[in-house]
Amino acid sequence: MLNTDDGLVIIMRIKHESIDIYPLEERFDHFTSSLAANNKGLIIFTEHEYGCASHLAVSSLVEIEKPAARVMSHLINNNVFNQTEEFDHIGWGLFFYNGYTFVNISRWPQTSIFPAEQAQSTWIHIYPPVRDLLDYLQSYGGHKKLYFLSSTTIHDALDNDIFKIFDSSEIVEYDFTAKHEKRGDGNDLFFSPPTWLFPYFADLLGYDIATAVVSGNEPEKRVDRSAGMALMNWLENNLDVAGGEEILIENAEHLESLFERNDVLRSEMQSIITKNEPPKNSMLWG
């Protein structure tokens, strides 16, 4: 906390169970007021999902690099190295826009299926932050509606007779407050861990709406503009949150350039590694 010249104490960190919330541009009282004023719905998206659909959709509404607050937890791993050329901020970004609160899930523990011990370790790390963030936003922000934006990119690796690949322009919604029965209508979904955990716990906590909003995807597209556009249009048509197509396209081009640069760096690193490998079948090397 900080003391101002007039003796006012400014709280710079909000502690709630396993999470810390750091307001970046507002005093604590202003932040909590903004939270309550932007409780028409909680919209959660992911920054690193293949295809970047939800990232593109929300980046047409808010500046991803300028959140109102950052949510952190000792249970969510962050990179320990950093750099001055492209400084990497940590924590889940929280934004306010047009009466809604947005949260960017930019870090998520690697989810393992096998071995069982490692899968259990993942659960231990993800359950408390998800539970505590939703509980805080409900208790102190009055949130009652949650929408998780995602895509069906995970279907690419599954049996498509059961989990089909939807066109990028398609949107499928799944209501987690209803009975979790097999759909059987050809629109069954396979969820990544954050896509189902957030709405699932929102339902357990008593949110009135807990819905996953999932776009289709193009399997070969690392930056799927059509899927991002579909989610952006869904937000405008269903929540009256209008984004900008030109901004989405500009952000898509930026992401594509980053992928291309990473490809070059990866290729250079691979050439260095290959260059320094010992000659095959040489007993004298080294």
CA distance 34 to 95: 10
User: Against a cut of 0.85, is the pTM above it?
Assistant: yes
DSSP state of 42: E
Beta carbons within 10 angstroms of residue 69's beta carbon:
24
pLDDT for 226-245, tens place per residue?
999 999 999 999 999 998 89
The three-state secondary structure class of 10 is strand
User: In this structure, is residue 81 part of a structural domain?
Assistant: yes
Give the chain's residues under pLDDT 50: 3, 7-8, 282-286
Task: Name the residue type at position 127.
Answer: Y
User: In this structure, is residue 202 part of a structural domain?
Assistant: yes
User: In this structure, is residue 105 part of a structural domain?
Assistant: yes
Between helix 116-141 and helix 28-37 the angle, nearest 10°, is: 90
Residue-number span of the structural domain to which 170 is assigned: 2-245
pLDDT attached to residue 7: 47
pLDDT attached to residue 281: 53
Look at strands 69-72 and 92-97 and give their pairing.
antiparallel
Beta carbons within 10 angstroms of residue 194's beta carbon:
19
User: In this structure, is residue 107 part of a structural domain?
Assistant: yes
CA distance 64 to 43: 14
User: In this structure, is residue 284 part of a structural domain?
Assistant: no
Beta carbons within 10 angstroms of residue 284's beta carbon:
6
The encoded tokens of residue 181 equal 């029965």
CA distance 189 to 191: 6
CA distance 74 to 129: 9
pLDDT attached to residue 10: 60
User: In this structure, is residue 250 part of a structural domain?
Assistant: no
User: In this structure, is residue 35 part of a structural domain?
Assistant: yes
User: In this structure, is residue 13 part of a structural domain?
Assistant: yes
Number of domains making up the chain: 1
Q: What is the CATH number of the domain that holds 143?
A: 3.40.50.10900
pLDDT for 59-99, tens place per residue?
999 999 999 999 999 998 877 788 888 788 899 999 999 99
pLDDT attached to residue 285: 38
